[in-house]
Amino acid sequence: MSLLINKLCDKIPDWRYEAKQIIDEKGDSIINNVTVQQVYGGMRGIKGLVCDTSAVSADKGLIIRGIPLLEITHILPEEVFLLLLTGELPDEEALKDFQSQLTEHADVPNYVWDVLEAMPEDSHPMAMFNTAILVMEKESVFHKKYDEGLQKQDYWKAILEDAIRLVAKLPAIGAGVYRIRFNKGELIAPDKNLDWGANFAHMLGIPDPNRILKKLMRLYLMLHCDHEGGNVSAFSGLTVASALSDPYYAVSAGLNGLAGPLHGLANQECLKFVLEIKDHFDGSPSKEDLTQFVWDRLNSGRVVPGYGHAVLRCPDPRFTAFINFGKENIKDDPVFDIVQNLFDVVPSVLKEQGKAKNPWPNVDAASGSLLYHFGMTEFSFYTVLFSISRAMGMVSQMVINRALGIPITRPKSVTYDWLKSNA
Ligand code: CMX
């Protein structure tokens, strides 16, 4: 048995006990009222799920297992994955043991490449990535064991097995999508001596003489790992998983939500926006010109990508981490300059406009400019990076939900007539 399974076998009985105890003691306590506004408003703010992997505080941003994000930006994505799953940072032995499992399962079945090669050449990279995940569904350990009569208390073990096998392959699949979709030539084999994030950078095949792209990928894949349970991708993925659809179905479903411009696709949209600014002004404009450009965009009825958030009410710490990385590693780049200047300009414009509840940047405002600087210029690919990382949070939540025996998701909808008579 792996150290991870041992660790979870130690912890899960306590988590089950705590969940049972709180239901026994406080099962009838009311933690939220629901207004008509919320029913018509994307269920915003309704507390209706439990998620222990991470929490998003309006004024501090992402907190992973109790640790504010900016305190752990130096750790590897594999370490954050173990933190999400177990609630503890791994020691060296646990990390090595887990990394060896990821390496063991990193090879992608050949039929995945056949399917990706057969897709139309103008397919969106997210459609390719999510198709690759779905097409591997037949590999699901959970699906097979469930059919053989797996006991409910052991569901989580098979989900975990699927989770590790799937996450292990995502860097190779992501890099494969990149090389196939953008005609970069032959696929590059993984280097089994590299860690998960650096290996992804290696398989992309983008020149990285100073190994900064590897550093950036580790940071990127660490920062996007999770954002509690109610965002579109997590919620959709968890809902699908609650029907006991296996992680291949569920992760693919969740990532289809991440592919929307109001969610993960905003990083692509944001870089597009920044490049539009650069082309329009033939470089980095003055703050006055930038302010006018932002107003023109708003007045044409479009959102400013990378700004605003459904939960946050402060600059996203993930944005801060990226800007810090850029300041350390980038000199004289008009794209990065524009991103920094937008931070000085957009919040006051959005405040003056008075619509967005959060005028501050989210994670997507800065990430693209760094990728662009270090050689990944194909911005329609950016959400795939987000996906590789976010899959870790989604599967961690799925393992925990199955361990806790959370039932199938089924909130109640009401009709307009019902609201009229009952609200
Ligand atoms: N630019 C312009 N208008 C914005 C805005 C922005 N960046 N953010 C919010 N608004 C507008 C909304 O469109 C809404 O307008 P209407 O009343 O006309 O519909 C109004 O302000 C109120 O919205 P809100 O309550 O502040 O925001 P929501 O919780 O409804 O939506 C989000 C949140 C992220 C979808 C929204 O801020 C947005 O569209 N931002 C731009 C896209 C983006 O960056 N998405 C990435 C989010 C992070 C992620 O999930 O990856």
263 lines ligand 1 (CB under 6 A): yes
For the beta carbon of residue 117, count every other beta carbon within 10 angstroms: 11
Q: What is the pLDDT of residues 353-402, one digit of tens each?
A: 999 999 999 999 999 999 999 999 999 999 999 999 999 999 999 999 99
Asked if residue 86 has pLDDT above 90, the reply is: yes
Backbone angles phi, psi at 57, to 5 degrees: -95, 140
Please determine, for residue 1, whether its predicted confidence score (pLDDT) is greater than 90.
Answer: no
**Any idea what the CATH number is for the domain that residue 272 is in?**
1.10.230.10
Element (H, E) at 28: none
Q: Distance (Å, rounded) from C-alpha 176 to C-alpha 169?
A: 11
Query: Which protein residue's CA is at the shortest distance from atom 48 of ligand 1?
Result: 263
Based on the residue annotation, tell me whether 289 is a catalytic residue of this protein. Answer: no
Q: Is the CB of 382 under 6 A from ligand 1?
A: no
pLDDT at 51: 98
Q: Could you give the residue ranges of the DSSP H alpha helices within 265-381?
A: 266-281, 287-299, 317-329, 334-353, 364-373
Cβ neighbours, 10 Å, residue 400 = 27
Percent of the chain exceeding pLDDT 70 equals 100
Give, using CA atoms, the residue closest to atom 50 of ligand 1.
263
The whole-number average pLDDT for the span 331-343 is: 96
Rg over alpha carbons for the chain, rounded to the nearest Å, is 22
Q: What's the average model confidence in pLDDT over 343-362?
A: 97
Please work out whether the CB of residue 143 comes within 6 Å of at least one atom of ligand 1: no
Q: Which DSSP symbol is given to 51?
A: -
CA atoms of 64 and 83, how far apart (whole Å): 8
Q: Which atom of ligand 1 is closest in space to residue 357's alpha carbon?
A: 26
In this structure, are residues 203 and 25 in contact, taking their beta carbons and an 8 Å threshold? no
What is the per-residue pLDDT across 30-68, written as a single tens digit (0 to 9) for each?
999 999 999 999 999 999 999 999 999 999 999 999 999
pLDDT at 145: 98
Active site residue 74: no
C-alpha span between 147 and 347 (Å, rounded): 53
Is 310 touching ligand 1 by the criterion CB < 6 Å? yes
* Cα–Cα distance, 397 to 229 (Å, whole number): 8
pLDDT digit string (tens) for 292-326? 999 999 999 999 999 999 999 999 999 999 999 99
Mutational test site, ligand 1, from 37, 223, 309, max ligand atoms within 8 Å of CB: 309
**Are the C-beta atoms of 113 and 177 separated by less than 8 Å?**
no
Asked if residue 247 has pLDDT above 90, the reply is yes
The pLDDT, as a whole number, for residue 12 is: 98
Stretch 208-226: mean pLDDT: 97
Binning pLDDT at 50, 70 and 90, where does residue 158 land? Answer: very high
| Residue 371: closest CA among 384, 358, 353, 352 | 384
Q: Which residues contact 114 (CB under 8 A, 6 or more apart)?
A: none
Q: Which helix (H) or strand (E) holds 169?
A: helix 155-181
Atom 4 of ligand 1: nearest residue by CA position: 356
Exactly one of 52, 208, 337, 364 is catalytic; which is it? 364
Domain that holds residue 366: 266-373
pLDDT of 192 reads 87
**Contacting residues for 31 by C-beta, under 8 A, at least 6 apart:** 47
Backbone φ, ψ for residue 188 (5° rounding)? -105, 130
Closest among 163, 110, 132 to 403, alpha carbons compared: 163
Q: Taking all residues of the chain, what is their mean pLDDT, rounded to a whole number?
A: 97
What are the residues whose beta carbons fall under 8 Å from the beta carbon of 44, sequence distance 6 or more? 38, 310
Using the mean position of ligand 1's atoms as its centre, give its distance from the Cα of residue 304 in Å: 8
Q: What is the dihedral of CA 410, 416, 420, 423, to 10 degrees?
A: 30
**The total number of structural domains that make up the chain:** 1
- Residue 5 included in any domain: no
| Domain assignment of residue 295, yes or no | yes
Q: Is any ligand 1 atom within 6 A of the Cβ of residue 38?
A: no
Enumerate long-range contacts of 146-150, CB under 8 Å, 24 or more apart: 146/244, 146/246
- Position 3 scores a pLDDT of 95
Token pair, residue 45, equals 């703010």
